[in-house]
Amino acid sequence: MAEAHQAVAFSFAITHEGFNVNYDREVLHLVWESGVRSWKKRVARIKAGIKNGAYPAHLESLYVIMILVTLLHFSNKTVPYDLVNTFMNVMPSNGSFWHFLSCVLVSLFYWILICLIMRYSLKGLLVYKGWMYEARGSGSKPSLKTKIWFVLVKVFKKWNSPGLYSFQSSLPRLPLPSVNDTMTRWLRSVRPLVDDATYEKFVREAAEFEKGIGKKLQRYLILKSWWSTNYVSDWWEEYVYLRGRSPLCVNSNFYGVDAIFTHPSKIQAARAGSVVNLLLQFRRSIDRQELEPIMVQGLIPLCSWQYERTFNTARIPGIETDKIVHYKDSNHIVVIHKGCYYKMLIYHKGRLLKPCELQYQFEQILQSKATPARGEDFLASLTAWDRPKWAQAREKYFSRGVNKTSLYLIESAAFVVSLDDEPFEFDMARPEKLDEFGRKLLHGKGCDRWFDKSFTLCVASNGRIGFNAEHTWADAPVLGHVWECALADDHEGYDENGNTLGKIEVLPPVPTRLSWDFNDESLVKTIDMAYDDAQRIINDVDLRILVHDAYGKGFMKTCRCSPDAFIQMALQLAYYRDYGKFSLTYEASMTRLFREGRTETVRPCTIESAAWVKAMENKDVTATERVKLLYDACKRHQQGYQDAMCGRGVDRHLFCLYVVSKYLEVDSPFLKEILSEPWRLSTSQTPHGQTPKMDPKKNPHFISAGGGFGPVSVDGYGVSYIIAGEDLIFFHISSLKSCNVTDSERFAQQICKALTDIKLLFEQYNLEQKKILQNGTSH
């Protein structure tokens, strides 16, 4: 009854004696505070919007121009183009006030003109991508063109300190490749995967497509690239994510792991309080746009568009398509503990609660003797169900009454916190514990993660943390940045006993249970069916997390190889040994150098990588020849990665051409065939070092162990990796137990063997080179 009472701010009744009004002062005060906070955020957004609109110019420069124009005019000097007198011709009188107003308007005109000139000059500079293709490192020098470009961009960057969205209007649009370029790159990428006859067939079909229907489809894409800010992103979000009808659990959502080599607190409530506070501070920095945009090499900005939906966001199921709903503000989080759902306020008396106050609230939940209602403990399984089934259940059982209210509270929460009743463990001597750690984050029990939320923070009973994230609203590097900032600051927030620092200033509101109506027996049966289906999904997952500490990027750099290319070649060798042949390989690359950019596909299986892999399996090939082939493969891979980042990839263009063909109801068997080929090896590198707070050299133990995702193909592997230091790499390898050709443990062993063999290869190469030098000296 207490929850029901607090849910009503006021009520009134009409009697024979008149009006009878009842109201709750505390609830009305909360409503007032929420409104004040919302208006403060609106004002902050307006101020930030004006600042971003002027960037890279300063707002203060308007006052400087105004003073100069006014002084010139009133000292009888001619303002450039005599604009003040021109404005005076349309003023109602010749008084001093109208002269001053003309000066203000002319100043505003000059200032806007300067802002536009600076913005488009910066935009023109950011279009240049030649710097990416120039060799870097010892002994290599950039071209004169790149040097001049570098100086000019640096001048703009130093001119004014940017906010989170300051560069958005200056970022160039994603370029649209020609059909010929895309066909050429695609044919090259499939050459190692098919025999001569199939390849010749593809060559003919590609030529026919380019000269035929491809021209028509490309014309529509050209129009879209002119009209929209990004010709890919909106279709990618809709057709790849929102129209996907499979369960989000395992199939779409991804996870992130704690910094496993440090354990700042073993107290569950304390760790939850500290990390939640840090996440909310990050949310505030996004709202106020105080967060600096990520800069490549400290100079070139990345698009920050995806940060907007990090918090207060949920994916809402639909019969045919889902939708992403982002709430402008939220003053609460929702906590799941032992099958019960709690609304927990995060503001009190106009301020964000301190970590110790949040810890107090989490302790209230952990100490609660409440038990879940029948059906409540498996409720979150609905979000792990097929999307049409969940949409139907949502419409039937959650569109009215307390169920609708409670569901709204979950979906509008800043994020969801799951207080697990089991530990997340890590022990180098027992690798299966880390595997279990990953499984708990990827899918949990199938009923303790709200898979529709932008992310669920998972806090174990021993204080370890992780997250499970929905993929539609953003790509992994964005949440990786959030996570990295939280981990970097978290270790300083505890006393010697593991409790959060500080003292409780005001007793925070007690978390309240969400109310549900499960009296309808068919609803309980529906939830049970969703739970059973979720169990089938999670029981089929074969996840292995490999900790490779024999060497890391330190050794790779001594080999004069890009660490990413080095690892991708090792994966190609491992996959060939495991599967017996080459397969289409996916590596995610970002296109955030462009406005609203998301990802592009790099195809690591190339002609050069296949030649090197075959050479590694041929005992007659010398180490010198193998190393040369490896360098060729790494160089080709690096060029493919650079092309993808610069908007010269293959797959997003093909995808958009296919979407246009569907809109036009034009059948293209060629597009259908090439886009239906499964990605049996899907890979992704988790970036780190996105914040200056995290210095891997000073604090190597604070780096996250990365994260992972489920396999993209039913007969393939999903491999995520993070290069966590000079001598450490984490691989997250997933596959399905129901597939008889994949085995995550076996593939992990193949990766270890491949990395070991490459190191031995360079040792043999160095010996061969030493002998050559000795022979040359003796002669």
| Model confidence band, residue 9 (pLDDT cutoffs 50, 70, 90) | very low
Element (H, E) at 589: strand 585-590
| Model confidence band, residue 778 (pLDDT cutoffs 50, 70, 90) | low
Report the alpha-carbon distance of residue 180 to residue 186 in Å, rounded. Answer: 10
Pair type for strands 416-419 and 332-337:
parallel
- Cβ partners under 8 Å of residue 68, min gap 6: 107
**In the prediction, which pLDDT does 779 show?**
53
Q: At 535, which amino acid appears?
A: Q
**Is it the case that residue 16 has pLDDT exceeding 60?**
no
**Is it the case that residue 188 has pLDDT exceeding 90?**
yes
Which range among 78-87, 307-316, 397-406, 640-649 shows the weakest confidence by mean pLDDT?
78-87
Report the alpha-carbon distance of residue 164 to residue 150 in Å, rounded. Answer: 22
**Is it the case that residue 243 has pLDDT exceeding 70?**
yes
| Model confidence band, residue 27 (pLDDT cutoffs 50, 70, 90) | low
Mean of pLDDT values over 250-257: 96
**Is it the case that residue 54 has pLDDT exceeding 60?**
yes
Report for 525-529, 725-729, 769-773: range of highest mean pLDDT: 525-529
- Cβ partners under 8 Å of residue 184, min gap 6: none
Contact criterion met (CB below 8 Å) for 346 and 360 = no
Q: At 542, which amino acid appears?
A: D
pLDDT in tens, 172-181: 999 999 999 9
**Is it the case that residue 736 has pLDDT exceeding 50?**
yes
Mean of pLDDT values over 260-278: 95
For residue 337, indicate whether it is catalytic: no
Q: Which of 73, 471, 481, 637 is catalytic?
A: 471
pLDDT in tens, 660-706: 999 999 999 999 999 999 999 999 999 887 877 776 677 767 788 99
**Is it the case that residue 38 has pLDDT exceeding 90?**
no
- Cβ partners under 8 Å of residue 432, min gap 6: none
Q: What is the mean pLDDT of the chain?
A: 91
Contact criterion met (CB below 8 Å) for 403 and 395 = no
Which range among 14-23, 153-162, 307-316, 642-651 shows the weakest confidence by mean pLDDT?
14-23
**Is it the case that residue 763 has pLDDT exceeding 50?**
yes
Which range among 65-74, 333-342, 457-466, 594-603 shows the weakest confidence by mean pLDDT?
65-74
| Model confidence band, residue 776 (pLDDT cutoffs 50, 70, 90) | low
Contact criterion met (CB below 8 Å) for 410 and 448 = no
Contact criterion met (CB below 8 Å) for 464 and 437 = yes
**Is it the case that residue 312 has pLDDT exceeding 60?**
yes
Nearest alpha carbon to residue 541 among 717, 778, 336: 717
**In the prediction, which pLDDT does 60 show?**
85
**In the prediction, which pLDDT does 26 show?**
57
pLDDT in tens, 451-485: 999 999 999 999 999 999 999 999 999 999 999 99
Tokens standing for 362? Answer: 């989490």
Q: Where are the alpha helices (DSSP H) in 412-561?
A: 431-442, 476-490, 521-539, 553-558
**Selected residue with higher pLDDT from 412 and 694:** 412
Q: What percent of the chain has pLDDT over 70?
A: 93
pLDDT in tens, 345-394: 999 888 899 999 999 999 999 999 999 999 999 999 999 999 999 999 99
**In the prediction, which pLDDT does 10 show?**
47
Burial 719-753 (b: 16+ CB within 10 A, else e): bbbbbbbeebbbbbbbbbeebeebbbbbbbbbbbe
**In the prediction, which pLDDT does 92 show?**
87
Residue at token pair 């004696």: 17
Residue 27: CA count within 13 A, CB half-sphere: 13
Q: Omega into 56 within 30° of 0, i.e. cis?
A: yes
Burial 355-368 (b: 16+ CB within 10 A, else e): bbbbbbbbbbbbee
Q: Which residues pair with residue 458 across a beta bridge?
A: 418, 466
**In the prediction, which pLDDT does 4 show?**
38
Tokens standing for 752? Answer: 């270890």
**In the prediction, which pLDDT does 17 show?**
58
Strands in 669-755 per DSSP E: 681-685, 707-709, 717-725, 728-736
Tokens standing for 257? Answer: 């792991």
| Model confidence band, residue 48 (pLDDT cutoffs 50, 70, 90) | confident
pTM for this predicted structure: 0.91
**In the prediction, which pLDDT does 632 show?**
97
Report for 42-56, 143-157, 439-453: range of highest mean pLDDT: 439-453
Tokens standing for 614? Answer: 């075959």
pLDDT in tens, 196-225: 999 999 999 999 999 999 999 999 999 999
**In the prediction, which pLDDT does 1 show?**
32
**Selected residue with higher pLDDT from 3 and 279:** 279
**In the prediction, which pLDDT does 749 show?**
97
**In the prediction, which pLDDT does 22 show?**
57
In degrees rounded to 5, what are phi and psi of residue 193?
A: -100, -15
